[in-house]
Amino acid sequence: SLGIIPQMGGRIISLTHQGEELFFVQDEFKGDIYYLDKIDNLRDKKLEMGFRVWGGDKTWVSPQQAWWEAIPPIDLDAGSYSIKIDGNTVEMQSPICRETGLRIIRRIRLDDGIVHLQQTFRNETNNLINRGIWNVTQVLRPFEVYLPASRNNIKAYRDEGLNEDASSKISKESNFVKVLCDDNTHFKVGGFIDEGIIVALRKTNAGTLAFSRLFDVDLKCQYAHNASVEIYNSKKYNYLEIEVHAPLVTLGKGQEVSHSQTWILKRFDNNIDPEEVFRMLE
């Protein structure tokens, strides 16, 4: 089942499978709603609020270095989205972002336990906008995340204040890079994967829960952060982030760009290995 909060950045705030919750929520801000349309100075409001994670699944705007005050654009991240429901499809639209000039449209469809997520940017200004769709999902630990990539293509981000040694958390396993997120070691890794599939596995007494996602990648395009995928592991809270980037694009007035993902949740016995899961998805 899914839980959504349009009033808090159009988030998917809950994802459960057979009663098991997968998504992290920042308890100290649970239930908060912000009336940002009444705020004139967004920079001051950002500094007042600080960097809050809130939790769940959200759409950010890349590149990160373009954010005012090094905080996500708050009209998009914490603003109130409109909502339309049509059968098993929900569409949420952000207000026009006063920082970026973008509107975000998030369409979510639930089909036989499979989640289809489409994210769209629309340029609501008269100017050219060069940005990328950046999907961030905050998932409760522990998980082993498998990326179809060579080891050299996935690098630790040692230059972002994430100084803990992540070498013990990243390993080559068969045709994949395995990123182990099982404690509060603070690290972030990222790079280019060979195909648009990510598999996250969590072993439990009831079997191995596989949280898989499929999406398009295009290695001929330019990506912000020089990565199509990033994995972040929090020190302060019990979560990891699965981050999926779409290519950077330049949008003219009224132009749109979309990127889609398919999420599949399934439980296997504990003998399953990532290669078997990947074969089922391909």
Mean pLDDT of the residues in the chain:
94
Average pLDDT over residues 196-221: 96
* CATH code of the domain in which 260 resides: 2.70.98.10
Tell me the pLDDT tens digit for each residue of 79-110: 999 999 999 999 999 999 999 999 999 999 99
Average pLDDT over residues 189-210: 96
Tell me the pLDDT tens digit for each residue of 140-184: 999 999 999 999 999 988 766 565 678 889 999 999 999 999 999
Is the dihedral angle over the CA atoms 223, 243, 64, 107 positive or is it negative?
positive
Average pLDDT over residues 214-228: 96
**What's the domain range around 36?**
2-281
For 17-98, where are the alpha helices, taking DSSP H only? 42-49, 74-77
Name the token pair of 264.
């599949």
Tell me the pLDDT tens digit for each residue of 110-121: 998 899 999 999
Closest CA to 242 of 108, 131, 116, 139: 139
At 162 the pLDDT is 60
The residues, any chain, with a CB within 8 Å of residue 229's CB and separated by 6 or more, are: 147, 190, 191, 192, 193, 198, 242, 243, 244, 245
Average pLDDT over residues 33-57: 89
Q: Total structural domains in the chain?
A: 1
Q: What is the DSSP letter of 23?
A: B
Average pLDDT over residues 67-77: 95
